[in-house]
Amino acid sequence: MKIIALTCVLFMLQYYSSLSFAQGTAAVPFLEMPTNAEMNGMGYASVAHITDNPAALISNPAHLGMQCLDNSIFTVSENYSNWLPAFNLNLWMNTTAVNAGINLNKIFPNLPSLSVGISYSNIYMNFGEFIRTGPDNPDPLGTFNAHDESSQLTLSVAADYYVRASLGITYKHVNSVLSNQPTAQEPGSGKASADLYDLGFLVDVPFVPLISNIVNQPIPVYNNVSPLFNFSLGISENNFGQESIYYIDRTQADPLPRFARAGIELNLGLKYVKNNISWIPLSFKWTIEANDLLINTDSSGRSTYQSGLGDINFFREVILGKTNKETEKLKGWELNLGETIYIYGGSLIEGPEAGNNNFTSGGYAVSISGLLKTLAVIRPEMFEGNFMKYVLNHIGLKFNQSNITTIDKTSPLNNTDYYSLNITFNNWL
């Protein structure tokens, strides 16, 4: 029974790996899954997406430093997904992120705008509970829970000097548990572990302030409203370090999912600034990204890793938007209405040679802090009291939900849902 259970779990791992990777297969593919509803709603595109989502650092650790530039922050994010619901096997993934960061300029005013952030995050992929029986008797002897888990520590630094740039690094310890003890004469225990790291880079270029500094005058649209036009570039390389893991036999080790991401984002909108309130009443973000699993497998089954960005042709794929049979192309967009309502959409595209896994996704978010900021612009007298002013300036709450729709309606990935709740404490210094 234990061998059957392990076989089923390994089959599931292989199956959802094939739904996500452009070429080859790898162990613990949950490391490539989207970790939050916003990322899922935008077609997994996240490496260059400028966001306040605390869990964004899992795909690109440089997000953390960028989020700390404007405010000293303490954030908590809880994320849940019912993975592959069509199988009815109680598969789910939960992601938690706890971040803290400061802008050193708040403490040392003579310094330029420099930020430092640190984070602990955890990804837990549940494969369900399995019954253990003896070799000669079908009577249950106990149960065990099969799961994959990754615990991460992230450090990120960022600077704001005309343009905003951030660097980040994440150390992660991965545990994969397909059994809790050996069976019969098996040499292994059904458990495996790995120590890995991610590297990330993110730059955000605010064109309107740059032009305003050059001409030495503001560029207004109407009264306190100015145009918003930003360009961002993001690159990350994930799961470097250890190359393979094995559960039972070292000679049957599987490669780990080392991969590269590269993308850009455009952000267009309007920005309102008055009485120490900065509010974006309307904006539209569009992002495109190329992903490549850096594993090549030859005809004999031997796997080797590629270096750099692998098969990603940055100019052709990301700038020109062309397809590449060796990589995945991700597209996403976000419509912001008053920093209160956010609407997301996206798609993942693979060619027939790369697996032909194609889907669209969508979602929404509601921000209580954005609603309060909108009210502060419309009815500033509501925030003259100390309590309301404190809540406006220090506390944020945001709920996200998103869903995947596959072109093939029989795909088990169809109707996979994600839910996220983010709590933010701003300006704590």
* Residue 411 confidence (pLDDT): 79
Q: For residues 402 and 410, what is the distance between their CA atoms, to the nearest angstrom?
A: 19
* Residue 4 confidence (pLDDT): 44
Tens digit of pLDDT at every position of the chain (429 positions): 444 444 444 444 444 444 444 344 678 888 988 899 999 999 999 999 999 999 999 999 999 999 999 888 899 999 999 888 877 778 899 999 999 999 988 888 888 889 999 999 999 999 887 776 666 666 666 677 888 999 999 999 999 999 999 999 999 999 998 876 655 555 556 788 999 999 999 999 999 999 988 888 888 888 889 999 999 999 999 999 999 888 877 777 889 999 999 999 999 999 999 888 899 999 999 999 999 989 887 767 677 889 899 999 999 999 988 888 888 899 999 999 999 999 999 998 866 555 566 889 999 999 999 999 999 999 999 888 889 888 988 999 999 999 998 887 777 788 899 999 999 998 765
* Residue 355 confidence (pLDDT): 56
How many angstroms from the chain centroid is the CA of residue 243?
A: 22
* Start-to-end CA span in the chain (Å): 56
Q: For residues 350 and 359, what is the distance between their CA atoms, to the nearest angstrom?
A: 9
Q: For residues 183 and 190, what is the distance between their CA atoms, to the nearest angstrom?
A: 9
* Residue 19 confidence (pLDDT): 43
Q: With residue 403 as reference, give the H or E element that holds it.
A: strand 395-406
- Could you give the 3-state DSSP secondary structure of residue 208? helix
Tokens of 215: 């001409």
Beta bridge partners, 313, equal none
* Residue 3 confidence (pLDDT): 45
380's CB contacts (< 8 A; 6+ apart) are: 275
Tell me the per-residue pLDDT of 138-169, one tens digit each, with 9 for 90 and over: 666 667 788 899 999 999 999 999 999 999 99
* Residue 427 confidence (pLDDT): 77
CA atoms within 13 Å, Cβ hemisphere of 233: 8
Tell me the per-residue pLDDT of 206-249, one tens digit each, with 9 for 90 and over: 999 999 888 888 888 888 899 999 999 999 999 999 998 888 77
Q: Enumerate the H helices of 350-409 as residue ranges.
A: 368-378, 386-394
CA distances from 174 to 117, 144, 193, 257 (A): 22, 19, 5, 12
Give yes or no for a contact between 153 and 170, defined as CB atoms under 8 angstroms apart. yes
* Residue 86 confidence (pLDDT): 78
Neighbours of 350 (CB within 10 A): 22
* Residue 356 confidence (pLDDT): 60
Q: For residues 132 and 143, what is the distance between their CA atoms, to the nearest angstrom?
A: 5
Beta bridge partners, 24, equal none
Residue tagged 């998103």 (tokens): 402
* Contacts of 269-278 spanning 24+ positions with Cβ under 8 A: 269/227, 269/228, 269/336, 270/221, 270/225, 270/226, 270/227, 270/228, 271/225, 271/226, 271/227, 271/228, 272/224, 272/225, 272/377, 273/224, 273/226, 274/224, 274/377, 275/380, 277/373, 277/376, 277/377
